[in-house]
Structure 1
Amino acid sequence: MKQSQAKFVSARRRNQHARRALPRILRASHPSISTDCYRITIVSCENWLGRNIEASLTLNVQRPTSNIKYRMRILMISAEGPPLQRAGALIDVMDALPRELRKPGNQVSVTLPYYREIREKSKFKAKRTGIAVDVRVGDKTYVADYFEARSAGGVQLFLVRCDDFFDRPGIYGEQGQPYEDNAARFIFFCKAALELARRLTPALQILHVHDWAAALVPVFVRAHNLPFATLLTIHHVADQGSFWGLDFNLTNLPERFFTLHGVEFFGRLNFLKGGILYADRITTVSEHYRREISRPSGAGGHGLDVVLRENAHRLTAILHGADYTRWNPASD
């Protein structure tokens, strides 16, 4: 082999070696960069007539604009959210989280009951969707009428109207006393939200439910083998949706769901326990809170600590963020 040809082959082999080695070097020096986020370009200067053959490498690192690889279609289901007047952390989350999830391109909508407080807001406009569905609650049937609107942040809202349940001064009760039919009210809401999810197009992928009032949604999804992944976020484990055992009949679920391995908890119907057992994934609002509610013999779990520990493989802590447009030390 001629000397110039040998040098060219040697340079080509060095280039091939560099192509194989650079990804390993890059991963070692920049572990946060995924291997599909960079491009390697080999620039070779071959001179068949000259004695010196040089090879140079240029590396163009393309950082991803988002860590979300796939765009998702999500329906969030909650008993509280904008445009209700802020009364706690859940409404803040339901305001900020959908907006943030939409930024990388996810399709996010929110459904909540059409309370009297919302209907009486003069600046809030909602229009009928033309969809009305009969929903069974025990041996009675109620009509769910769906309205569509936009939050102040531009998130699509679906409001479930049923004046028998939601045309009241309060959300959960009045003057410190819960409504006596709260079990029926939020069983209806969970079923109505699922009827909406089945009708939305393009088809939804994820149902993200918040706290006890929406926690039966994963139970109904499993019972009826519906094609949705479910995520339950626990904001306040002390509120569990615990009702008389006879209220289980309002769910119209088979009796096998009212057992130790179902929604039964010390003889009572427990919404939150059902969500913990049947949701595909569970999240809490911080690592500290996850440890607190799962601690053995601790009061933090309010009796559900055993259930949470048994399902710890599906329980993840995701720390709440801060909306600096509202909470900014520089402007407070």
Structure 2
Amino acid sequence: MIRVLFATSEVYPLVKTGGLADVSASLPEALCRLEYDVHILLPGYPGAVKAAREAGSRRKVRFRIGQYEVSLWQTRLPGTAVTLWLMDCPPLFDRPGNPYQNEEGRDWWDNAHRFELFCKVGAMMAVGEAGLSWRPDVVHCNDWQTALIPVFLEHYPHRPGTVFTIHNLAYQGIFPQETFRSLGLPDSLWRWDLLEFYGQLSFIKGGLVFSDRITTVSPEYAREIQTPEYGHGLDGVLSHRKDRLTGILNGIDTRVWNPEEDPELAFRYGLDHLKNKAQCQAQLQRELGLKVDGGPLLGFIGRLVEQKGVDWLIEVIPTLLERGCQLVLLGSGEARYEEPLKQLAREWPGQMSLTLGYNEGLSHRITAGCDMFLMPSRFEPCGLNQMYSLRYGT
């Protein structure tokens, strides 16, 4: 049986800001059903540690790395048989807000230190230095937050194989050169072909340069990121390693996203009984204070950032509403997009609904209740929402 350590900064239902959390939940479980022994490593965010305690889990090991005392909790990913390890270090991860930002939407000042320590623990687990009896054959790293694990493993003669998956190359973990120094990384890594990136430290380059294999979330995106337009300055690195780069199309968990059995819906429907979809729409309209009428209902779920084309959407919302459409939006992000959306929602009560933040149940009800799903992305590595929408007949 092949043993896989799956390192990720978020996993549904414990913590989620985007599609990474969905993939981090469904892929390890799918691999387990194929008889791989997959263990997930996740930072010990407050909600995750609380869930582990409530499930009766206990610390398995405790050790010190520099000034920090670290514990590893062993539990299960809720609703699955997948083993989940929580790297508990309260000074770095016991904080409000989302995994990367505070409650005001600003990046945590010490993100580099937080995820560098997370990568160190991942590397320790990979080579049997964390006090556990289990060791992986493969370490699967995901996005910049885990990208230093292959760097730390490079000089171990009997290290496991490493795979690094790019879920979105736009997020790279870029920090000043002073951060490189403060992390105590070897000077030998400060080279243009290693971790240095135009005078700054790039976490993601660690995964791209040092991993045995690189994957990304669609074949098309694998081609796109080798071009200047979508490579975000790393197209040269990716082109150099194209023999190790593979695009594998994302999938969705059709058991979780199933309109015939979805517990988040008041009415269930399928191909042979589509009438209940209209009931889902009426229920959604009542829930969000919209008029229950026959106008087309349009939905948007996603981060309110430039990549998602939110500025384009804001420009056309008044025209859509004037023509009788209704609009439902769910997401959070930059104030420059949140503020005009809040103003539009105030100007169009009963016709436009805006929910800031993330609500998994509401995302299911929007996907089911809308006539059309809006996805005006400037670029999309793969995208899961269009797959969810197709699954729900939207």
TM range (shorter): 0.7 to 0.9
2: CA distance, partners of 1:267 / 1:279: 22
Change (3 A) 1:85 1:216: closer
Give the RMSD, CA atoms, in angstroms.
1.8
Q: For residues 165-196 of structure 1, what are the alpha-carbon distances to aligned partners after superposition, in whole Å with 9 as ceiling and x for unaligned?
A: 00101210122210011010100111122223
- Out of 205-214 and 170-179, give the one that drifted further: 170-179
| CA–CA distance in structure 2, aligned partners of residues 185 and 211 of structure 1 | 15
Give the C-alpha shift of residue 116 in structure 1. Answer: 1.4
Letter in 1 for 2:100: Y
Instruction: Return the TM-score normalized by structure 1.
Output: 0.73
State the one-letter code of the partner of 2:63.
Answer: V
Partner of 2:30: helix, strand, or coil? helix
Residue of structure 2 aligned with 1:195, choices 100, 120, 124: 124
Q: Structure 2: how far apart are the matches of 1:181 and 1:242? A: 12
Aligned to 2:107: 178
- Secondary structure at 1:160 match in 2: strand
| Pairing of 1:175-324 with structure 2 (within 5 A) | 175-197=104-126, 198=128, 199-225=131-157, 227-295=159-227, 297-298=228-229, 300-324=230-254
Please state whether the residue corresponding to 2:96 is helix, strand or coil: coil
Name the residue aligned to 1:105. Answer: 35
Tell me the alpha carbon deviations over residues 66-96 of structure 1, each in whole angstroms, 9 at most, x when there is no partner: xxxxx31000011111342433111100110
Q: In structure 1, which of residues 139, 143, 159 is the aligned counterpart of residue 86 of structure 2? A: 159
Cα displacement string for residues 14-49 of structure 1 (whole angstroms, at most 9, x for unaligned residues):
xxxxxxxxxxxxxxxxxxxxxxxxxxxxxxxxxxxx
**What is the Cα deviation at residue 143 of structure 1?**
1.2
Q: 1:289 and 1:329 mapped to 2: Cα distance?
A: 29
- Distance 1:246-1:201 versus aligned 2 partners, 3 A rule: same
8 Å CA contact retained: 1:82, 1:95: yes
1:118 is paired with a residue whose SS is helix
SS in 1 for 2:225: helix
- Post-superposition Cα deviations, 1:93-149, rounded to whole Å, max 9, x if no partner, equal 01100111111211100011110122344985252333112113xxxx211111011
Q: For 1:217 and 1:206, how far apart are their aligned partners in 2?
A: 12
Residue in 2 that maps onto 1:82: 12
Query: Is the 8 Å Cα contact of residues 115 and 145 (structure 2) preserved in structure 1?
Result: yes
Q: Which has the larger radius of gyration?
A: 1
- State the alpha-carbon separation in 1 of the partners of residues 158 and 59 from structure 2: 23
1:93 aligns with 2:23: yes
CA distance in 1, matches of 2:45, 2:250: 27
Q: Which amino acid aligns with 1:173?
A: Q
**What is the CA–CA distance in structure 2 between the aligned matches of 1:82 and 1:214, rounded to whole Å?**
17
Q: Deviations over 1:38-64 (max 9, x none)?
A: xxxxxxxxxxxxxxxxxxxxxxxxxxx
Amino acid at match of 2:101: G
Q: Which runs of 5+ in 2 are unaligned?
A: 261-268, 270-391
Is the deviation greater in 112-121 or in 102-111? 112-121
Residue 146 (1) aligns with residue 72 (2): yes
Q: Which moved more, 1:80-89 or 1:238-247?
A: 80-89
| Preserved CA contact (<8 Å) 2:49 2:86 | no
Summarize deviations over 1:179-231 as a string: whole Å, max 9, x none. 01101010011112222332443432101010000000000000444511110
Contact 1:115 1:167 in 2 (8 A): yes
Q: Using a 3 Å threshold, how does the CA distance of structure 1 residues 267 and 226 change in structure 2: closer, same or farther?
A: farther
CA contact (8 A) 2:151 2:207 kept: yes
2:207 and 2:60 map into 1 onto residues whose CA distance is 30
* 1:118 counterpart = 2:44: no
Q: 127, 130, 137: which one pairs with 2:57?
A: 127
Distance in 1 of aligned mates of 2:60 and 2:34? 31
Give the distance between the partners of 1:73 and 1:282, measured in 2 at CA: 19
TM-score under structure 2 length normalisation: 0.62
Secondary structure of 1:260's aligned partner: coil
AA at the equivalent of 1:272? I
Letter in 2 for 1:172: Y
Q: Which has the higher strand share?
A: 1
Instruction: Give the % identical residues.
Output: 37
Distance 2:91 2:245 in 1: 36
Whether contact under 8 Å (1:95, 1:153) holds in the other structure is no
Distance (whole Å) between structure 2 residues aligned to residue 111 and residue 185 of structure 1: 14
Question: Tell me, which stretches of 5 or more residues in structure 1 are unaligned?
Answer: 1-70
Distance change in 2, residues 1:243/1:155 (3 Å): same
Alignment CA distance shift 1:305-1:84 (3 Å):
same
Q: CA, structure 1 residues 254+104, in 2 after alignment: closer, same or farther (shift >3 Å)?
A: same
Distance, in Å, in 2 between the alignment partners of 1:169 and 1:105 is 37
* 1:40 aligned residue: none
Find the residue that maps to 1:276 and give its secondary structure. Answer: helix
Size of the aligned set, in residue pairs, is 256
